[in-house]
């Protein structure tokens, strides 16, 4: 489907931009102590986002409305919960002294979530047009 190609193009653009962001931020003096977290959270979202988008797109392309709602809300819920576990585990294990480490998390989470929501909305509109 053409919209899935659209997702992949935008995914690679976002991932490229986030790679540059992660490397640049980890070089900042206040962020250097959290360099490992900055890179790890980027990799986490770069790997998680396509999997969750694929799962949600299966639900969106399904004729079953229950499957659609389950897939979309499920993918967002799973992403949020896994993110929470990731950040809390980091904070618990490494005990960062300052809250600066959370900045890359919010930026990565926001960028990948916005991408997913925009692409899922486009996919939903396309599927709804076909159904009419």
* Long-range contact pairs involving 25-30 (C-beta distance under 8 Å, separation at least 24): 25/103, 25/104, 30/98, 30/100
Q: How many CB atoms lie within 10 A of CB 15?
A: 18
Whether residue 81 contacts residue 52, with contact meaning beta carbons closer than 8 Å, is answered with no
Handedness of CA 79, 120, 71, 12 (dihedral sign): negative
In the predicted model, is pLDDT for residue 131 greater than 70?
no
Which residues are CB-contacts of 45 (< 8 A; sequence separation ≥ 6)? 18, 108, 109, 111, 112
Whether residue 109 contacts residue 45, with contact meaning beta carbons closer than 8 Å, is answered with yes
Least confident of 2-6, 93-97, 100-104: 2-6
Q: Is 0.75 surpassed by the pTM of this model?
A: yes
For 14-61, write each residue's pLDDT tens digit: 999 999 999 999 999 999 999 999 999 999 999 999 999 998 888 888
């Amino acid at each position: 489907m053409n919209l899935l190609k659209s997702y992949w193009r935008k995914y690679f653009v976002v991932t490229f931009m986030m790679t540059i962001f992660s490397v640049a931020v980890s070089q900042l003096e206040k962020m250097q102590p959290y360099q490992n977290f900055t890179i790890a959270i980027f990799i986490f979202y770069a790997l998680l986002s396509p999997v969750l988008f694929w799962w949600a797109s299966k639900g969106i392309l399904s004729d079953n409305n229950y499957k659609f709602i389950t897939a979309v809300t499920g993918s967002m819920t799973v992403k949020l919960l896994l993110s929470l576990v990731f950040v809390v585990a980091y904070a618990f294990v490494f005990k960062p002294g300052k809250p600066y480490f959370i900045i890359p998390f919010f930026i990565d989470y926001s960028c990948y979530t916005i991408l997913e929501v925009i692409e899922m909305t486009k996919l939903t509109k396309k599927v709804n047009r076909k159904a009419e």
